[in-house]
Every structure is written in structure tokens, then in C-alpha cells.
Chain A
Amino acid sequence: MTGPVPVDPLLEVDDLVVVRGARPILEIDHLAIVRGETLVVVGPNGAGKSTLLLALARLLRPQRGEVAFRDSFGERDDDLAHRRRIGLVLPDPILLDASVFDNVASGLRFRGVPRDEVRVRVSDWLGRLGIGHLRDRPARQISSGEAQRVSLARALVVEPDLLLLDEPFASVDAMTRALLLDDLENLLRATPVACVAVTHDLDEAVRLGDRVAVLLEGRLRQCDRPERVLAAPVDGDVAAFVGVETRVHGRVVEARDGLAVVEAAGHRLEAVSSVGPGRAVLFCLRPEDVTLWSGDQPGPGDHPGPGTEMSSARNRLPGRVSRVTPSGPLVRVSVDCGVPLVALVTRASADEMGLAVGRPVVATFKASAAHLIPLAKDQDR
């Protein structure tokens, strides 16, 4: 797994292997959680994210490996003591058949907190999550968005050292999700609690995480700041998962001034990179970084005229539109220009330019937007 390793971690995972039957479903060499950070683990369904969370909570027995708080200073480190330092929120909020108050109070009651203190702390957190008015309502009679807030309040009220969230927004509609996401983001910034959240949604991860860890097929491939993971994925699988839609095999033929020239699919492409000449690479480009110009005239730079700016984009590829797919407010345009490129443009632009299959276009992108992943000699996927 690549990414900077934190010093003075709160909790460390070492050499963890979890198996189901004979198959390992999770293998983590090392993972450190820093005090106060929000680490979001992303990956497709079945990657092992929930398993990782349960392992962090010491709620399953790994085949080998250790999960431990690093600041125990000789205190008890048995499973119950460990669990009393965390707060777990499982997906599709699992609430008790009792009032909202009783649900939120349950963690405190397990720890034997005196009744008066329970009342004060629960009321405080009900307020902070905007559900004070639901205090005496039976938990089975609230909406799914409200239930998710109850579930969060229940974990936060115990003031854990580590908050574990499993797909916190999976069960709510888009609008509720947006509100919850805002509130959660603010809460996490306001409290000193460290948080590990798992999600299959990349947008949530980038939004919430101080660091993002990409988990694919039970292994952590990359753990770094969100911008780094998106812009500089460490291998082809991570690149595919984080939305780098253009991934082409090529070879660096020239390298000077921090610029590498890659030969791929018969084209010469320029990328800002320190990879040396002769190396086989995976040339990566995000669709948001591709700009399309209509017509087969190489527009920018060649025929400056009213409304046309000079472009600093060093890469210019003429081609034809091969596919147009609507994607919410945007349109995903596939361009065949020798190199298979994908561009993301607004609907308005797509309409104005009349982007349709077969239309000639010129695709441009900056050298600084391209990312090169060096491939090992035997890697040719």
C-alpha cells in the first residue's frame, strides 16, 4: 500500500488477515489511524470494507494480525476495553424497539454512566443532530433519515476515541443524504474524534476524508489525501476505480524539463512526470480534464480570432465522437482519436457544439493533467 505513513498514530493495524472458509477476504500489512482524522475507505461492494470495520472494532476473529490502540500505557487491552473506546454505526440503522432517547442512551448505559449525566449528554447530542424533538418517539416510528441521525447520535454520545461508520448514507434518499453529509462533515470537524468511514461512493469519500484509502479485493492499494488519490492513482485498478477513464498503455520516449513524452497508440502525448525514458507506463487522464473543440480544425493557437484564446494545452488530438452518454447534468463523450479518450462536458456545451456520434472534434488536455503510472516489466494488462 502506498501513501505517507503517519507518526504517533492513535490506532494501528498490523499484518491483518481475515479469512472466510479457505479464502482470505482481507489482507492489510499496515494501517495507522491518526488522532482526530477522518479516514474514508472506499472500494466496490465485496472489497472487504465492512470486514475491515468489524476488525477495527475487534468484532471478528482474524486469522492473524493485531488491531490495537497505541496509547494504552499498560491499561487493559481486552476486547471489551477496546470496544468501549469505539462507537460503531452499522448500515440500515439498527435501532432498539424503544424510544429515541433510550436508543441514544444505550451506549452510556452499557458503560454504567450515572442517570443524570446520561440525560444531559443525550439531550446535548440529540440537539446537535437536530432530532431533539424526537426524544420520546418510539424509534420504529421515525423516517430513515431521522433513524440515521439517531444511530449517529448513539455512537457520538459516548465520546469514543474512534468512530466507525459503515456506509452511513446507504439507506437514505439523495436529498436527505446531502443534508446528512453536511451535518456529518461539520460534526467531524468540530469534535476531536477520529473517524473511519467506509463507503462505495467516491464523492462522499473525497468530501469527508482527510485521507482516502482505496480497498480493492481485500487489499489496501493506496492511502493518501483525496486530491492525490484522484490525480495520481498508484496502479491501473485504483485508477479505474477513482474515475480515471482514459488509461492507455504506452512508453516514455523522451524526458526533459520535467516533461515526459509518451508514445501510445501511435500518438505522442506529453505529461508532466519524472518517469525516465524507456519505461513502460499506463497513461492516465481524467475526463474532467479533457476539453473538446468542434470541427476538424485544430482550433486553439492556430487560428486566433474573436473569442478564441491561446491555449497552453500541449496535447491536441483530432478525432470523432464515438459515443455520447448523459450522466446527470453532464454528458460523457467518448472520442476515438487513436487514443480512446473520454471527456465530461456540460449538457449546454454538448448541445451548442452539436456533439453526436460521428462528429469530428479536437480533444485537448494539459500535460499537467496527465498522470503516468510506471508499469513493471511483466505488467501488460
Chain B
Amino acid sequence: MDIFAGSDLLEVTLLSLIVSGLATAISLAIGLPLGTWLALARFRSRGLTLSLVNTGMALPPVVVGLFVAMLLWRSGPLGGLRLMYTPGAMVIAEVIIATPVMLGLTVAALGQLDPRLRLQLLGLGASRWQATWWLWREARLPLLAALMAAFGAVISEVGAAMMVGGNIRHETRVLTTSIVLETGKGEFAAAIALGVVLLALAFLVNAVLTRAQHRGPQP
């Protein structure tokens, strides 16, 4: 069995967490406010926009990786940024994968609330910000579920990470790309071990978020 050194394992696990965690955080920062606005606003092409968002939730990661790669490689329009085959590129690709998930599920989460709740809060003297905050609190269960779904989408994907990261040891190798590598080398034990680590990681993060979701008065 290949010496999959303890430090290597720690390194790829850490990188997985950092890249996917960062991508999820950015998708939250974009998706939550945008999704809130989309849930509350009424404009003519709202139906079309929602359909596009929902389609975006099903983007194949490898295709996202391909398009980002085409933008970032040396001959591409953003080649000057020298981001190709760096964790930065991986974060970019994963943000593109996670944001529609966050957006679509935020719209669904807020859409479940009583449509007059916002009016009622404003009628009790809430400012627009206070009303929005309280809407998020009211929808905290499905919103946390959205966050978990976005994280789950990116921690488990391999297509984009491979395309824009290149699976370079010590640079852009993450858990999912390591599994592909070890399997390709025939090192099935190592691949399975990495799979277990990935599952454990996903479980751990979700357990923390689920605990946060269910703290406080039960509905």
C-alpha cells in the first residue's frame, strides 16, 4: 500500500475544508440577500428568473469546471490572473456550483412563510432591516438546510476540482480528487479510507449545523 503519509491526509482534508468552506460562505453572502430579495420582490420576469435559478441547482460540476477553466487558462480572457491550477480557481468554480443551490433554497424557505408576516412586522414598528432579520429567524430551519445543501454540493464534487485544480500534490489536491487518484493507481484500500474520511467530515459539519438548526423553541 502506498504510504499515504499522515501529513498528506491532513493536508488534503484541510484543503477540502478550506476550499469548500470558503465557497459555501461566499455563496451564503451572495445567495441569502439575493434569494431574500427574489422571494419578496414582484417583477415581470420573476417566474423566468426562478426557473433559471432552479436549473442552476443542477449544474454538472465538471461542466462548471470546464467553463471556469476556459476563462482562467493562460490563453483565456482571465489568464492574466494566473489562477489556473490554484485553490483560488477551485473556490471560484465551487462558488458557481453552490450559489444557485443557496439561492433557490432561500427562495423556497422564505416562500413558505406567511406572506403577510413582513407587513405585520413593519406594522409593529420594524425597520426594513429588522423585518428581514426576523424573516430569516422565522425561516431558520429551511435556511440552515439550504446551507447544508450548498456545503454538501461542493464538498462532494470532483469534476470542477479536477478541471481547474489539476489535483497537484501539496497544491490543489483535495479528498475527492485523491480518491480518484488512488483508485486509478489501484490502491483501493487508500481510496476507501479517504472515502471514509470524507464521509466523516461531511457528517461532522452537518451535525454541527443540525444542532444549530434545532436549538431554541421547537415548532
Contacts and interface: CB of A to CB of B under 8 A. Distances in A.
Interface string A95-122: 0111100000011001100000000000
B124 A107 contact: yes
A110 B124 contact: yes
A138 B123 contact: no
A154 B123 CA distance: 11
Contacts of B116: 90, 94
Given A90-B116, A138-B218, A140-B219, A96 B134 contact: yes
Interface of B: 114, 116-117, 119-127, 130, 134, 137-138, 217-219
Contacts of B119: 54, 59, 88, 90
Nearest to B117: A94
B213 to A, nearest CB: 13
Contacts of A110: 121, 124-127, 130
Contacts of B122: 57, 59, 83
A87 B114 CA distance: 19
12 contacts: A83-B122, A83-B126, A90-B123, A96-B134, A96-B137, A97-B138, A106-B124, A107-B124, A110-B121, A138-B219, A154-B124, A164-B123
Nearest to B119: A59
Given A97-B219, A138-B218, A87 B124 contact: yes
A57 B138 contact: no
Given A54-B119, A99-B217, A138-B217, A94 B114 contact: yes
Contacts of B217: 97-99, 138
A88 B218 contact: no
Interface of A is mostly: mixed
Contact of B123 (A57, A99, A111): A57
Contacts of A88: 119-120, 123-124
B127 to A, nearest CB: 6
A265 interface: no
B127 A96 contact: no
Contacts of A221: none
Given A94-B114, A94-B116, A86 B219 contact: no
Given A90-B116, A140-B219, A155 B124 contact: yes
- Sorting the interface of chain A by its residue count into under 10, 10 to 19, 20 to 34 or 35 or more gives 20 to 34
A239 interface: no
Contacts of A90: 116, 119-120, 123
Interface string A73-95: 00000001001101110100010
A80 B117 contact: no
A154 B117 CA distance: 14
A88 B121 CA distance: 9
Given A80-B127, A86-B123, 7 more contacts: A83-B122, A94-B120, A97-B137, A97-B138, A97-B217, A106-B126, A164-B123
A98 B138 CA distance: 9
A158 interface: yes
Contacts of B130: 110
Nearest to A83: B125
B123 A83 contact: yes
A164 B127 CA distance: 18
Given A94-B117, A138-B218, A59 B123 contact: yes
B205 to A, nearest CB: 25
A297 to B, nearest CB: 61
**Which 3 A-B residue pairs are closest in the complex by CB-CB distance?**
A88-B123, A107-B124, A84-B125
Contacts of B218: 138
B124 A158 contact: yes
Given A94-B116, A98-B217, A106 B121 contact: yes
Contacts of B117: 94
Contacts of B125: 80, 83-84, 86-87, 107, 110-111, 158
Contacts of B134: 96, 106
